[in-house]
C-alpha cells in the first residue's frame, strides 16, 4: 500500500509540473470584408519583430525610398533612423543648441532623394536634413497677411515631387497649408466640409443676422494626418463621423477620388500608408485593427489588435504612425510600448493581394495561378469567385464564369457571361425554340377555344355556374375596370373564388421570391426569410382594406366592408397578369435589356394603382376628385395604423420583458 501511495504521489507531482497545452494560433483574428460583413480568414499579415531602439515617445513613422524607417521621437527631440533589420543607424537632431536642434518633433517625411523633412513642432518650423543626417535648411512661418494672426505649428507633412510641402498645422480647420520650395505660402488645400446639422439649419431659418453672429460657427473638422502615394495623390485622414470622408484621396486640384465615401473601420484613423501597388493601409483606434483597402477605398482585410494595457507580442498599445516598405512589410510606431512593430505578409496574404493587383490591372490570365492557390487554401473567400469568374470569362469558359460570378454576386460579370451562354444556346437551338413557341401558342389558342366550347355545352350546377361567372368577372375587370367593379357592387362574390385568387397571388409572390432571375434578384436563396417577405406583401393589402373602409365610411362612402374586400381582391389582377411574364423574362434578359423589365414593372405598378383608385370610386360612389382626396387620406391612414402598430408592439414587448426579468429575479432568490 505504501508503494502504491508513493507512486500516486509521484504521478500527481509530475502532472502538476508538466507544461500546459499551448495554442499555435495568433492571439487575434484576421477578417475579410465580403461587402456586407466581416468574416474570419487565415492570417494575411503576422507579427515579424518588435524594436525598441531606445525610443521614448514615437509619434510618427515614415519608410524612406531605401526602406530605412524614420521615427519621430517627440520626447527625446530626435528622429531615429532604423535599417531594414530594425536596428538604429543614426539620429537626426543636434544635441547642442543650434539650427539642427529639434524640439518635440511630431512629423517626418522622406523624399525620393532622401531629404528628410521634420515637422519641428516645438520650434514652430520645418527642419530639413540631408541623407547623411546633416542639417540643410529650415522653413519658418511664411510671410503672408492671411497668416498674420495665426501661429505656425506644424504637426504632420508630406512633400510632392515638385518640392511643394503640404503641412498639417495644429488644430487648423482650413486644411493643409501649402508651401513652395522657397518657403512661400501657396494657400490652403483639401479642407474638410463643415457638417450641417438639422439644428443649425433651423437656426438659419428663425434667427436674424445679429443672433446668428453670436452663434458658435459650425467649422469643418481639422485634418488629423496626411500621406502621399507614388502617383502624387494626397491622402488626408479625419476621425469620426461614422467613416464618411474619413480618408480622402485628393488630386492636384483638391478633388476627392473617393468622393467622400464612407469607409469601413474609418471612425478613429491614426495614420495611413500606401504601398507601391496602390493598396491603402490604416490604423483605426475605434475598430482597434489595422485595415487594408484597395485603390478605390473598398475594405479588404482587417488584422491585429489594439489594447492599451498590452504586454503581448504583436498587439499594439497606442499606435501613432504607419509605413509600408518595398517588400510590403508594415511598420507601426507604438508610443504605449515605446517600440516599432513590424508585420510581414504570409504566403496566403502574398497570393491573395498579388491576385487582387493583377485583377485590378485587368491581367486576368496572369492572376489565375494566384487565385487557384488562394482557392486551395480557403475556398470561402468570396474574392476568389469574382477573380476566377473574370479569368473564365476572358478564356471563353462562359459556363464556369456564370457559376463563379453568381457566387461572387457580380451582376455585371454574370450578365456578360450569360449573354454569351444565351447566344451560344440560341445558335444551337433556334429552330427548336421557334418550333416550340409556335406549338405552344397553337396549343394555348386551340385549348382556349376548346375550353370555351366545352363550357358552353356543359351543364353546371348553380354553385359551379356562380364560381365560373365570378372568375370571368375577375378577368373582365382588368380590361374594363368600371364595368367590372359595377358588377361586383351588384353581386356577392363567392368566398371560394376570393380565396382562390388570393392563393394564386401568394403562389406567384413565392415564385417571384425564389425563381426571379439572379440579375434582378441577386440574393442567397438560403438566407431568404419567406415569412417576412410575405408579411411585407400581405400587410399593406390588409391595411389598405381597413383604412379604405374606415376613411370612406366617414366620408359618406356607400361601400360595405365585403365589397371593399372583393374590390381589393379583384384589383390584384394586373399583378397576376404581369408577374408570370416578368418572372420568365428575368431569367432570359441581361442587364443591357433590363429596360424591358423596368417598363413592364412600371406598367404593372401604374395599372395596379389605377385599379385601386377606380375600385374606390365605384364601390363608394365618389366622383373623381373625391376619390383622389380620399385615396390620399387612406394612404395617410395606413401610415398611422403602421405607426400605431409599432408603438403597441414596442410597449407590449417592454411589458413582457419587465415581467420576464421580474420572474427571473424572483426565481433566483427563491
Reported as a pLDDT band with limits 50, 70 and 90, residue 23 is very low
597 and 552 in a common domain: yes
Burial of 476 (0-12, 13-18, 19+ CB in 10 A): middle
Kindly state whether residue 511 falls inside one of the protein's structural domains.
yes
Averaged pLDDT for residues 501-506: 91
DSSP letter at 306 equals B
Position 240 scores a pLDDT of: 66
144 and 81 in a common domain: yes
Reported as a pLDDT band with limits 50, 70 and 90, residue 8 is low
CA distance 442 to 455: 20
226 and 91 in a common domain: yes
Report the CATH number at residue 198: 2.120.10.30
559 and 488 in a common domain: yes
Kindly state whether residue 354 falls inside one of the protein's structural domains.
no
Helices 561-570, 462-479: axis angle to 10 degrees equals 60
pLDDT tens digits, one per residue of 386-442? 889 889 988 889 999 999 898 888 889 899 999 999 888 888 888 887 888 888 888
Greatest pairwise CA separation for the chain in angstroms: 117
Kindly state whether residue 297 falls inside one of the protein's structural domains.
yes
Residue 167: domain span: 12-345
260 and 404 in a common domain: no
Q: How many C-beta neighbours within 10 Å does residue 512 have? A: 19
pLDDT at 574 over 80: yes
48 and 159 in a common domain: yes
Kindly state whether residue 357 falls inside one of the protein's structural domains.
no
pLDDT tens digits, one per residue of 326-348? 999 999 999 999 999 999 999 99
Q: Which long-range contacts (CB under 8 A, 24 or more apart) does 583-589 make?
A: 583/508, 583/511, 583/512, 583/515, 583/516, 586/516, 586/517, 586/519, 586/520, 586/521, 587/515, 587/516, 587/517, 588/422, 588/517, 589/517, 589/519
CA distance 41 to 29: 8
The domain boundary residue, chosen from 458, 477, 511: 458
pLDDT tens digits, one per residue of 33-62? 988 889 999 999 999 999 987 899 999 999
Q: Are 283 and 319 in contact (CB under 8 A)?
A: yes
| Residue whose C-alpha is closest to residue 562's, from 571, 551, 549, 574 | 549
Reported as a pLDDT band with limits 50, 70 and 90, residue 22 is very low
DSSP calls for 395-425: HT-HHHHHHHHHHHT-HHHHHHHHHHHHHHH
374 and 493 in a common domain: no
pLDDT at 125 over 90: yes
Helices 462-479, 481-489: axis angle to 10 degrees equals 150
Kindly state whether residue 606 falls inside one of the protein's structural domains.
yes
Per-residue burial over 269-294, b if 16 or more Cβ lie within 10 Å, else e, is bbbbbbbebbbbbbbbbbbbbbbbbb
DSSP calls for 89-148: EEEES-SSSSTT--SS--EEEE-TT--EEEEETTTTEEEEE-TTS-EEEEE-----GGGT
Reported as a pLDDT band with limits 50, 70 and 90, residue 20 is very low
632 and 550 in a common domain: yes
Kindly state whether residue 374 falls inside one of the protein's structural domains.
yes
Domain count, the chain: 3
537 and 526 in a common domain: yes
213 and 200 in a common domain: yes
248 and 394 in a common domain: no
- To the nearest 10°, report the CA torsion of 59, 65, 66, 68: 0
Give percent above pLDDT 90 in the chain.
Answer: 44
pLDDT at 182 over 90: yes
Is the pTM of the predicted complex or chain greater than 0.75?
yes
Q: What average pLDDT does the structure give for the chain?
A: 86
DSSP letter at 329 equals -
Question: Three-state DSSP class for 260?
Answer: coil
520 and 451 in a common domain: no
Q: Is the dihedral of CA 516, 520, 525, 530 positive or negative?
A: negative
Position 211 scores a pLDDT of: 62
The domain boundary residue, chosen from 458, 479, 495: 458
- Phi and psi, residue 640, nearest 5°: -65, -40
Planar angle of CA 183, 185, 189, nearest 5 degrees: 120
CA distance 144 to 185: 7
Helices 481-489, 561-570: axis angle to 10 degrees equals 150
Kindly state whether residue 394 falls inside one of the protein's structural domains.
yes
| Residue whose C-alpha is closest to residue 177's, from 387, 169, 517 | 169
Give percent above pLDDT 70 in the chain.
Answer: 89
Q: Which residues contact 620 (CB under 8 A, 6 or more apart)?
A: 552, 555, 557, 558, 559, 627, 630
Q: Are 600 and 423 in contact (CB under 8 A)?
A: no
The domain boundary residue, chosen from 401, 429, 458: 458
CA distance 568 to 573: 10
- Count CA atoms within 13 Å of residue 560 on its CB side: 8
CA distance 562 to 542: 13
pLDDT tens digits, one per residue of 264-315? 988 889 999 999 999 999 999 988 999 999 999 999 999 999 888 877 888 8
Kindly state whether residue 464 falls inside one of the protein's structural domains.
yes
Reported as a pLDDT band with limits 50, 70 and 90, residue 201 is low
CA distance 426 to 518: 20
Planar angle of CA 111, 116, 121, nearest 5 degrees: 125
CA distance 430 to 413: 25
Amino acid at each position: 500500500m505504501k508503494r502504491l501511495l508513493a507512486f500516486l504521489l509521484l504521478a500527481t507531482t509530475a502532472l502538476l509540473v508538466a507544461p500546459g497545452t499551448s495554442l499555435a494560433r495568433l492571439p487575434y483574428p484576421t477578417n475579410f470584408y465580403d461587402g456586407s460583413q466581416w468574416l474570419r480568414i487565415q492570417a494575411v499579415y503576422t507579427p515579424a519583430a518588435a524594436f525598441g531602439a531606445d525610443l521614448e515617445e514615437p509619434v510618427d513613422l515614415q519608410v524612406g525610398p531605401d526602406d530605412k524607417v524614420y521615427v519621430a521621437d517627440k520626447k527625446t527631440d530626435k528622429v531615429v533612423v532604423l535599417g531594414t533589420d530594425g536596428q538604429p543607424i543614426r539620429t537626426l537632431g543636434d544635441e547642442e543648441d543650434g539650427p539642427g536642434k529639434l524640439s518635440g518633433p511630431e512629423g517626418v517625411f522622406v523624399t525620393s532623394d532622401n531629404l528628410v523633412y521634420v515637422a519641428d513642432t516645438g520650434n514652430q518650423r520645418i527642419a530639413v536634413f540631408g541623407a547623411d543626417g546633416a542639417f540643410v535648411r529650415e522653413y519658418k512661418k511664411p510671410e503672408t497677411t492671411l497668416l498674420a494672426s495665426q501661429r505656425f505649428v506644424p504637426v504632420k507633412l508630406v512633400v510632392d515631387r515638385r518640392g511643394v510641402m503640404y503641412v498639417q498645422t495644429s488644430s487648423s480647420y482650413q486644411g493643409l497649408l501649402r508651401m513652395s520650395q522657397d518657403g512661400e505660402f501657396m494657400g490652403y488645400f483639401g479642407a474638410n466640409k463643415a457638417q450641417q446639422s438639422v439644428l443649425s439649419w433651423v437656426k438659419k431659418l428663425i434667427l436674424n443676422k445679429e443672433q446668428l453672429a453670436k452663434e458658435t460657427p459650425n467649422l469643418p473638422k481639422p485634418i488629423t494626418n496626411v500621406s502621399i502615394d507614388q502617383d502624387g495623390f494626397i491622402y488626408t485622414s479625419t476621425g469620426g463621423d461614422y467613416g464618411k470622408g474619413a480618408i480622402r484621396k485628393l488630386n492636384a486640384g483638391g478633388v476627392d477620388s473617393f468622393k467622400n465615401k464612407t469607409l469601413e473601420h474609418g471612425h478613429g484613423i491614426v495614420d495611413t500608408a500606401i504601398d507601391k501597388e496602390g493598396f491603402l493601409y490604416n490604423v483605426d483606434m475605434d475598430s482597434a485593427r489595422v485595415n487594408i483597402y484597395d485603390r478605390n477605398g473598398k475594405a479588404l482585410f482587417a488584422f491585429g489588435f489594439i489594447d492599451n494595457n498590452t504586454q503581448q507580442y504583436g498587439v499594439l498599445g497606442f499606435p501613432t504612425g504607419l509605413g509600408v516598405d518595398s517588400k510590403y512589410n508594415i511598420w507601426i510606431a507604438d508610443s504605449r510600448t515605446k517600440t516599432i512593430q513590424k508585420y510581414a505578409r504570409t504566403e496566403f496574404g502574398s497570393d491573395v493581394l498579388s491576385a487582387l493587383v493583377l485583377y485590378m490591372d485587368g491581367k486576368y490570365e496572369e492572376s489565375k495561378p494566384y487565385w487557384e492557390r488562394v482557392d486551395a487554401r480557403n475556398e470561402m473567400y468570396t474574392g476568389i469567385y469574382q477573380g476566377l469568374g473574370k479569368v473564365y470569362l476572358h478564356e471563353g469558359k462562359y459556363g464556369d464564369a456564370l457559376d463563379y460570378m453568381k457566387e461572387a454576386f457580380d451582376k455585371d460579370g454574370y450578365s456578360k457571361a450569360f449573354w454569351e451562354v444565351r447566344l451560344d444556346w440560341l445558335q444551337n437551338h433556334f429552330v427548336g425554340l421557334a418550333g416550340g413557341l409556335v406549338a405552344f401558342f397553337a396549343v394555348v389558342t386551340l385549348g382556349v377555344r376548346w375550353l370555351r366550347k366545352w363550357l358552353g355545352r356543359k351543364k353546371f350546377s348553380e354553385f359551379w355556374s356562380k364560381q365560373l361567372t365570378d372568375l370571368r368577372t375577375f378577368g373582365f375587370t382588368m380590361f374594363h375596370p368600371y364595368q367590372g367593379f359595377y358588377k361586383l357592387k351588384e353581386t356577392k362574390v363567392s368566398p371560394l373564388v376570393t380565396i382562390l385568387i388570393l392563393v394564386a397571388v401568394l403562389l406567384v409572390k413565392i415564385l417571384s421570391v425564389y425563381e426571379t432571375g439572379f440579375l434582378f434578384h441577386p440574393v442567397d436563396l438560403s438566407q431568404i426569410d419567406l415569412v417576412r417577405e410575405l408579411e411585407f406583401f400581405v400587410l399593406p393589402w390588409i391595411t389598405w382594406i381597413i383604412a379604405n373602409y374606415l376613411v370612406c365610411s366617414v366620408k359618406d362612402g356607400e361601400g360595405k366592408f365585403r365589397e371593399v374586400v372583393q374590390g381589393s381582391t379583384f384589383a390584384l389582377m394586373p399583378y397576376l397578369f404581369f408577374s408570370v411574364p416578368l418572372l420568365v423574362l428575368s431569367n432570359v434578359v441581361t442587364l443591357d435589356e433590363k429596360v424591358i423589365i423596368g417598363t413592364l414593372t412600371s406598367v404593372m405598378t401604374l395599372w395596379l394603382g389605377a385599379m385601386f383608385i377606380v375600385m374606390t370610386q365605384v364601390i363608394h360612389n365618389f366622383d373623381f376628385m373625391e376619390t383622389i382626396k380620399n385615396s390620399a387620406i387612406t394612404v395617410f391612414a395606413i401610415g398611422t395604423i403602421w405607426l400605431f402598430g409599432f408603438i403597441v408592439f414596442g410597449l407590449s414587448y417592454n411589458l413582457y420583458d419587465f415581467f420576464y426579468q421580474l420572474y427571473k429575479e424572483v426565481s433566483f432568490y427563491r
